[in-house]
Structure 1
Amino acid sequence: MEHTIATMPTTRQAGCPFDPPKELTQAREQSPISRFTFPDGHQGWVVTGYDLVRSILADQRFSSRRELMRHHPLIDYGDIEVPPAPPGEFLLMDEPQHSRYRRPLVGKFTVRRMRLLTERVEQITADHLDAMEQAGPPADLVTAFAKPIPAMVICELLGVPYEDRAVFQENIDKFMSGETSDEELVAAYTATQQYLAELVAAKRANPTDDVLSDLTDGDLTDEELKGMSLVLLAGGLDTTTNMLALGTFALLRNPAQLAALRAEPALADQAVEELLRYLTIAKTGQRVALEDVEVGGQTIKAGTTVVLSYNTANRDPERFPDPHVLDLRRRAGGHVAFGHGIHQCLGQQLARVEMRVAFSALFGRFPTLRLAVPADEVALRPETADIYGVKSLPVTWDA
C-alpha cells in the first residue's frame, strides 16, 4: 500500500534531541518510500529506508544539478528560476563537471594524508583545551572548543590566514543556521564570495604551502577556485563544529557510553562512526530523476524531486539493530552520514581525525566534564537548518 507524508516534520520529540522527527521514523516503519507533496504543489517522494537511500545516491539516473532542484521540502519558491551552480561548486553538479572539480582535490584528502595531519590536530586541540582550563569553568563548548578547532585546521589546509576566520565563519553560520532572513543570506554570500576572490588572487600572486595554492598551478579559473574554496570552507567548518558539540552533548547524556570511551581509548574510531550514524547532522539530501526509475516498487517519473532522509536511513533497524541506542561498540560502518556514491563527502577522513582526537582529548583532560544547565535547556538548531546541532553547550567541571 502506498504511504504518504503530508508535510515535512520540523520538530523533534521533547526529551529526544538526537532522534529524527517521530513522523519520519513512523513513515519508514510503514514503507521505505513515501509520497510527498512539496509546499509548491510538486508531487515527489521521501525515501526513509537505508537500502533505498544508498541505491539512489549511487544511481546516476538521479541528478544533483542545482538548476533542477526547483522544489524545497519546507519552502515554496513559487516561479523563481533556479540557475545552474556557479563554477567550482561541484556538490550541485553531475558528471563530467563534478569530476573536473573534485578530481584535483581527491589526492589532498586521502586517509594517509589526513592521518599525517593527526599531530597538528592534536596540538591545535591541546592549545584550546589549555585555554579552556586556564579560563576555568563554566564554558560554552561551542565557542571555546567545537568552533575554533575545525576552523584552524581548515584555514591551515586551505591557506586562509587564521586571523581572517571571523570574516567567513560568521557568514557560513548564517548559511547553515536555518534562522537567517533572505536579505542576510544574500549579504553573507556576497561577502564570502568577495573574500574568496581576494584570497584566490593572493594565492596566484604569492603561492604558499597549502591546498588552494597547489590548485592555482592547474587550468582552473579564478571563478572555479573561488567556488571550490567555498565548498571546502563550508564543509570543513560547520559540519565538524556541530559533530563535536552535538557529539559531546550526546556522550554527556549517555554516561555509560562515555565511561566506556574513557576506559577503552581504542574505542575512539568506533565511537566516531557510531556518533556519525546516531546523530546524522546532515539530515537530508535531494535528487531529481532524469528518467523514469523504479524504486522500492514505485515508479519515480522523470523530473520528480526525491528527498533522501539520511537520519532515518541511519536508524533503519534492518541495517542497524536497536538503531535508537547509542552503542560505541557497534560496527557502524556503511552509514550514510557522509552520503554515498560519487558525491560522498570529500573531507570525511579529515572529519574523522578531528573528531577522534578532539573527543579523546576533551574527556581525557576534563574527567568531570558535565552540562552546566539542564539538558532540556540546551539551545538546539531548528529542523530548518541544513546542518543540525546545538547553538551553545554550557559545560562545567571540577577545577
Structure 2
Amino acid sequence: MSETVHTVTDLPTERPAGCPFDPPARLTEAHAHGPISRYTHPGGKPGWIVTGHEQVRSILADPRFSSRKDLMNVVDFELPPAPPGEFLLMDEPEHSRYRKPLVGRFTARRMRLLTERVEQITAACLDAMEAAGPSADLVTAFAKPIPTIVICEILGVPYEDRDSFQEQIDTFMSGGTSDEELIAAYTATQEYLARLVAAKRANPTDDVLSELTDSDLTDEELKGISLILLAAGFDTTANMLSLGTFALLRNPDQLAALRADPALVDQAVEELLRYLTVAKTFMRTALEDVEIGGVVVEAGTTVVLSYHTADRDPERYADPHALDLRRDAGGHLAFGHGIHLCLGAQLARVEMRVAFAALLARFPTLRLAVPAEDVPLRPETADIFGVKSLPVTWEA
C-alpha cells in the first residue's frame, strides 16, 4: 500500500484565499488521499506528513516515536541535543525529570484559583482600552498583556521587566524577523533569564521559579525551563485571544450565540482551540519501524505532525471547517497529547474563558475597524499562527 501513498513535495504554508483560519489547502487536499503522505524535508531527508487525527494522536502517545532534537533526521548534518531544561525536545527519563516538579504547580485546581487574579488583570486591560477608545489594536491592548502579566507573575518576573521581556519573546517567535534580530533577541532573553534565576536563588519570592530553586536543578536547567514556560505561556494564549476574537467577528451567528448564552464560554473555548489550532506542526522520529495509516515509517525517519489539519479531520469532526461553538470539540490536539501534553493547558483555558467573556460583555458592539482581508497575519514561518494586529472599534 505504501507504493500508492500520496506525495507532498514541500510543507505547504499558504492558506486558502479569504480563509485565514483554515489549514493550507494543499494539506487538506493531501489528507483527502489518506492520513499520511510522503514528504522530503528541506535538507533532502525522506519523511512523512501525518494529517489524520487518529494517526497524529497515536504517534503522540507512542514511545516508539522520539521528541529528541538530536534525533530529528531532517538535515544532512547532526543536530545537537536540546539545551538543559528544554524538555519539549527530550524523551524519558530526562523529560520527566524536568516536567515532574512542575506538574503539581499547574493543576486544574491551582489554575482555577488564579481566576480572580486573571479577572482583575483582564478588567484593567479593558478599562485602559475603553478609556483610549472607541478603537484599539486588540493585540497590544488585550491579547498580549493578559497572558504576559499572568505568566510573569507565576514565574516571578519583576513588573518593570515585563515590557522588554514581551518584546524579546515577540521577536524570536513571530517569524517575521531577520536571523540577526532573532539571535539577538534569543541571546538577550537567555541572559535575562540567567540573571533572574540567580536573583531567585539569592532572594526567593512567592513564585514558581523560586520554588524550583529549592531542588536539584542547576541554573542552566532552570533557565531552560523558564524559557519554555515563559514563551509558551505568553505566545500561544496571546495568539488564541486575538485570532479567536477575529474568528468570532467573522462568524456573527456564533458570536451572537455566545453573547446570548455566556454559559457557553467553556464549550466555545474548546471549539476555538480546535478550529484555530495555532500551534500548527510538531515532529517526531521513529525509533523502530512502525506502521501508521497503512504505511511503514522506517526507523530513523522523522515525521511532521500536522495538528491543524488533524483537528479538521472529517473522520473525527463532522463539518470540520465550520466554527460551531456548540460542538463537542473534545479530543482536539491544540494542546498536543501524550507525555508532552501542554503543561499550561489549564492556565490557558482559564485565561481564555475569562478574557473572551469579559471582552464581549464590555463591548457589545465590538467589530473590525478594517476589512477582514486587511488584517495582517503572522507569517507562516512563525511557530505559532496568529495576527500581527487586530484593529477593532465599538460604539462609544
The whole-number CA distance in structure 1 between the counterparts of 2:181 and 2:287 is 34
Secondary structure class of the residue paired with 2:105: coil
Deviations 1:35-66 (A, max 9, x none): 00112211100000000000000001111111
- Given the alignment, which residue of 94, 97, 102 partners 2:94? 97
Matched, 1:172 2:169: yes
Secondary structure class of the residue paired with 1:357? helix
Q: Which residue of 2 aligns with 1:12?
A: 15
TM-aligned CA deviation for residue 162 of structure 1: 2.1
- Please say if 1:230 is aligned against 2:227: yes
Cα deviation 1:56-102 (Å, max 9, x = unaligned):
0000111111112242xxxxx554x4211111100000000000000
Q: Which of 370, 376, 379 is the aligned partner of 1:379?
A: 376
- Is this contact kept in 2: 1:243–1:276, CA < 8 A? yes
Secondary structure class of the residue paired with 1:108: helix
> Does residue 304 in structure 1 map to residue 301 in structure 2?
yes
Given candidates 337, 346, 358, the residue that maps to 2:355 is 358
Is residue 45–residue 73 contact of structure 2 (8 Å, CA) maintained in 1?
A: no
- Residues 57 and 333 of structure 2 are in contact (CA less than 8 Å); yes or no, is this contact kept in structure 1? yes
1:167 is displaced (CA, Å) by: 2.4
Aligned to 1:31: 34
Name 1:62's counterpart in structure 2: 65
Q: Is the 8 A contact 1:159 1:209 kept in 2?
A: yes
Letter in 1 for 2:10: T
SS of alignment partner, residue 106 of structure 2? coil
Residue 210 of structure 2: aligned partner: 213
Query: Alpha-carbon deviation of 1:168?
Result: 2.1
Amino acid at match of 2:389: S
Identity between Structure 1 and Structure 2 (%): 77
Q: 1:143 aligns with which of 111, 134, 140?
A: 140
- The residue type paired with residue 134 of structure 1 is A
Report the 3-state secondary structure (helix = DSSP H, G, I; strand = E; otherwise coil) of the residue aligned with 1:376.
Answer: helix
**133-142 or 162-171, larger mean C-alpha shift:** 162-171
Query: Is the 2:44–2:76 Cα contact (8 Å) retained in structure 1?
Result: no
8 A contact 2:134–2:394 mirrored in 1: yes
The question of 1:115 aligning with 2:118 is answered no
Higher mean Cα deviation, 57-66 or 169-178? 169-178
TM-score (norm 1): 0.97
Q: Which residue does 2:5 correspond to in 1?
A: 2
Alpha-carbon distance in structure 1 between the residues aligned to 2:284 and 2:356: 34
Given that 2:138 and 2:392 are in contact with CA atoms closer than 8 Å, whether structure 1 keeps it comes out as yes
Query: Which residue of 365, 368, 383 corresponds with 2:365?
Result: 368
Q: In the alignment, which residue of structure 1 is the partner of 2:344?
A: 347
In the alignment, which of 329, 332, 350 is matched to residue 332 of structure 1? Answer: 329
Matches of 1:175 and 1:333, distance apart in 2: 32
Q: Which runs of 4+ in 1 moved over 6 A?
A: none
Deviations 1:204-237 (A, max 9, x none): 1111110000101111111110000000001101
Checking the alignment, whether the CA contact within 8 Å between 2:172 and 2:183 is kept in structure 1 is: no
Mapping of residues 116-135 of structure 1, within 5 Å: 116-135=113-132
Measured in 1, the distance between the counterparts of 2:273 and 2:351 equals 13
For 1:157 and 1:194, the matched residues in 2 are separated by 20
Match of 1:282 in 2: 279
Q: Which amino acid aligns with 1:23?
A: R
What is the identity, as a one-letter code, of the residue corresponding to 1:370? R
Q: Aligned to 2:378, what secondary structure does the other structure show?
A: coil
Q: Deviations over 1:103-154 (max 9, x none)?
A: 0000011000011100000000000000011111210000000000000000
| SS of alignment partner, residue 337 of structure 1 | coil
Structure 1 unaligned runs (5+)? 72-76
SS in 2 for 1:44: strand
What is the rounded CA distance, in whole Å, between the counterparts of 1:207 and 1:191 in structure 2? 23
What amino acid is the match of 2:279?
A
Paired residue secondary structure (1:107)? helix
Q: Residue 158 of structure 2 aligns with which residue? A: 161
Amino acid at match of 1:12: R
8 Å contact 1:10–1:382 — kept in the other structure? no
Give the alignment's Cα RMSD to 1 decimal: 0.9
170-179 or 127-136, larger mean C-alpha shift: 170-179
Other structure's SS at 2:48 match: strand
Tell me, yes or no, if the aligned pair for 1:11 and 1:382 is still in contact at 8 Å.
Answer: no
Looking at structure 1, the residues matched to 57 and 12 of structure 2 have their Cα atoms a distance apart, in angstroms, of 22
Counterpart amino acid of residue 25 in structure 2: K
1:137 and 1:14 mapped to 2: Cα distance?
Answer: 30
Secondary structure, in 3 states, of the residue corresponding to 2:282? Answer: strand
Counterpart Cα distance in 2 of 1:263 and 1:114: 27
Give 1:200 deviation, angstroms.
0.4
The one-letter amino acid paired with 2:111 is M
